[in-house]
């Protein structure tokens, strides 16, 4: 099924659209959730939560990119589950490691997860990412949105881990300068 057919099916309340979502996007959604929650059962629950959320939100929502919409929903479900499970302790997942790397430059008296969700910061981050060349933008996206381990990013981009780390460091430094320029630091 194409994305347009899936959305049409959801609009008609056809449950086969949910099955098509699971078949076409289940693996990528599960992998994102797993990188955040670090647990197979919780990751499956996040995918189920995403399916319920998409069923409840379409209609009236008509996403421009179904994949991006689904990843946003599953990421939100995973972050919520992670917060719930780790209220009193810090975990060791890639999600937390990636957030810790950004924590040093994003201002906040709140938890970094709450800060990242702020609309103004997201607008500035989006503008910043659009200003980057494709490769640093892809590396940044893979690390800080998809929460991929540095080793995986290196393999997928045919780079050494040290080169990925250096590129991410340079991009974080540029982001810090950009946030200062925008008055957010």
Residue 1 has pLDDT above 60, yes or no: yes
- Higher-scoring residue by pLDDT: 85, 26: 26
Ordered domains of the chain (ranges, CATH): 3-85 (1.10.1740.10), 94-181 (1.20.140.160)
The three state secondary structure string of 160-175 is CHHHHHHHHHHHHHHH
CB atoms within 10 A of CB 183: 7
pTM: 0.56
Question: What is the spatial distance between Cα 63 and Cα 99, in angstroms, rounded to a whole number?
Answer: 27
Predicted confidence (pLDDT) per residue in 133-161, tens digit: 999 999 998 888 777 889 999 999 999 99
Predicted confidence (pLDDT) per residue in 30-72, tens digit: 998 988 888 899 999 999 999 999 998 888 878 888 888 898 8
């Amino acid at each position: 099924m194409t994305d347009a057919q899936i959305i049409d099916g959801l609009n008609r309340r056809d449950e086969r659209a949910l099955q098509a979502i699971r078949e076409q996007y289940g693996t990528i959604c599960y992998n994102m959730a797993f990188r955040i929650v670090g647990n197979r059962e919780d990751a499956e629950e996040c995918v189920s939560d995403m399916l319920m959320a998409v069923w409840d939100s379409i209609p009236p929502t008509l996403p421009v990119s179904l994949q991006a919409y689904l990843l946003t929903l599953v990421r939100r479900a995973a972050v919520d589950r992670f917060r719930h499970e780790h209220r009193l302790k810090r975990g060791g997942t890639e999600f937390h490691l990636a957030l810790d790397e950004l924590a040093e430059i994003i201002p906040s008296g709140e938890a970094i997860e709450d800060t990242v969700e702020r609309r103004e910061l997201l607008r500035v981050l989006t503008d910043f990412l659009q200003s980057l060349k494709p490769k640093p933008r892809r590396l940044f996206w893979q690390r800080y949105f998809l929460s991929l381990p540095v080793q995986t990013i290196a393999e997928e981009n045919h780079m050494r881990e040290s080169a990925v780390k250096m590129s991410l460091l340079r991009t974080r430094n540029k982001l810090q300068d950009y946030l200062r320029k925008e008055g957010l630091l």
